[in-house]
Structure 1
Amino acid sequence: MGPWWLLIETWAVAKLVRSPLFNRAVHKAYRKINNLPPMEAGNGGGRTGPSTLDHFKEELAVQWKELTWQRRNKR
């Protein structure tokens, strides 16, 4: 088999790896093998904790408390 066969095989593998359908199937199999919750909208997209927005709000609250606490000590 000549170099043309390797070129065609490389192209086909690259095309398969970039395919969204192939990636979904791999992720689904990986989650099933490792007993992870499925990534569905009803399941929070696979998330099992607070959202990024919740973390952001909490961090803002902590920083605001530290800022107001520092102002009180200076007076």
Structure 2
Amino acid sequence: MAWLALLEAWAVTKLLRSPGFNRAVHKAYRKINRLPPMDAENGGGRTGPSTLDHFKDELKGQFRDLTWQKRPPKQ
């Protein structure tokens, strides 16, 4: 009987972590609460620059500042 509970726990965990199940629950939630779908045409999803883009821009700016500083003369 314990193996049945273990199998059930494993199956529930796999189901809850699956992207398809989460999309279906999200879609049902939005439909029940009469919210517009999260599609790109409705303004959902990623519309601006990503975090990686911001990080690269910041590194470029810092590197540019470092390269334009005058270096001390060699002795």
Name whichever structure is richer in helix by fraction.
1
For these two proteins, the number of residue pairs brought into alignment is 48
Please state how far the C-alpha of 1:13 moved relative to its aligned partner. 0.2
Matches within 5 A, 1:1-75: 2-45=1-44
Unmatched 5+ stretches in structure 1: 54-75
Q: Distance in 2 between matches of 1:42 and 1:27?
A: 17
TM-score of the two chains, using structure 2 as the length reference: 0.59
Q: Kindly, what percent of the aligned residue pairs are identical?
A: 69
Q: Distance in 2 between matches of 1:19 and 1:39?
A: 19
SS at match of 1:45: coil
Root-mean-square deviation (CA), in Å? 1.8
Unmatched 5+ stretches in structure 2: 50-75
